[in-house]
Structure formats: structure tokens, C-alpha cells
Structure 1
Amino acid sequence: MFLHLGKDVVVPIKNIISIIDVDAIKKSKDSKAFFKIAEEEGFIKRIADEKVKSYVITEEIQKNKKGVQKMIQTVIYYSAISSTTLQKRANFIDDIHNADKIYLK
């Protein structure tokens, strides 16, 4: 399943490590430092032209042509969609998946 993060960005739910509210980051000096370094290192993808409301940390395993694990790529998306809304969307997808199991019994 996939989660829409805003604009035309959709990521597989299995790749999501964390969805973080922007206000939670503002309260921690360590978190601010982490996101500053992540931006300097090029891990950030800004998908919001308007106010950023959440950060979505993802990891994806890149594989070579033979299917062997090559490397893990971390991407942090800055989204204009709130962390609560993103979480509800992700849970909605889980609920649909679980409903299929219940009705198929």
C-alpha cells in the first residue's frame, strides 16, 4: 500500500520509518540539529510550498539488477499535511486490509 504525502508524492507504507509533527521537533535542540544536518547532507525533499506541518522519514533498499541488496537510501519529506492526517490515512489503509481478512473467513 502507499501513502500520499502531498502534491504528487506517494511512498510505500513499508518504507515509512516515522511521521513526526513539526511542533515536536521545535521543542528539542537535538532534533533541530539532526534535521539541520540532514538538510545539509541532502536527505531532505521539500514537497510543501506552504507551511510544513510534518516530517516523514523513509528508507528504501536499492537493489542491483541481480536482486542483491545494494544500499539503503534515507529520505526525509517535508509535508504540508499534518502528522495526524497522515497517520489516519495510513491506519485507514490498514483497516481496509484487515477488513478483507475478516470478511473472507
Structure 2
Amino acid sequence: MFIHLGGDKIIRAAELVAIFDLSIEKNSKISKQFVSEAAKEKNIETIGEEESKSIVVTVGKVYYSPISSTTLKKRANQLWMT
């Protein structure tokens, strides 16, 4: 199964670790550190030209998605329910 993150980016559902609203990056020191480390390792990808609304953490990469975390979570939940 696959999850569409926006633009032309699709990931395998099995790679998904977490989906967060972008505000967590501003409100959590741990999240800031995590994203900072991912940036140092060049494991961050921004999807599309639109403003990012969510952070998607996978096994190998962190994505900034223009799709809201609520919508992405619904997509992920639909996969687990089928």
C-alpha cells in the first residue's frame, strides 16, 4: 500500500513512522533537534512549491508536505482499515 504525500511524492505505507502538524517543529525542543539532525544528514525533502503544512517521518527520510496532517492521517488510517 502507498500514501500520497503531495506533488509527485508517494511512499510505501510500511515506511511511515509518524505524521505531525508543522506547528510541532516550533513548539517542541525535541522536534527541533530531530529535524536539525535530519537536515545535517541531508534526509529532509520538501514536497512541491506550496507552503508546508505537515512533517512526515519515514524510516529513511523526513518530508515537509503541503497536505495537512489531518488529511494524511486519514489516508493512512484508510489503508490500515482495509
Give yes or no for TM over 0.5.
yes
TM-score, normalised to structure 1's length? Answer: 0.71
> Once superposed, which parts of structure 1, at least 4 consecutive aligned residues long, lie more than 2 Å away?
none
Shift of 1:37: 2.2
Flag the structure with more relative contact order, 1 or 2, with Cα contacts below 8 A and sequence separation at least 6. Answer: 2
Q: Report the RMSD for the aligned CA atoms in angstroms.
A: 1.2
**Unaligned ranges ≥5, structure 2:** none
| Identical columns (%) | 44
Q: Which protein has the larger Cα radius of gyration, Structure 1 or Structure 2?
A: 1
Structure number with higher strand proportion = 1
Count of paired positions: 82
- What are the superposed Cα offsets for residues 19-63 of structure 1, whole Å, 9 maximum, x if unpaired? 11111221012311221221121010111312111111111xxxx
Asked if the contact 1:21–1:53 (Cα under 8 Å) also holds between the matched residues in 2, the reply is: yes
Give unmatched runs, 5+ long, in structure 1: 60-73, 98-105
TM-score, normalised via structure 2 length? 0.89
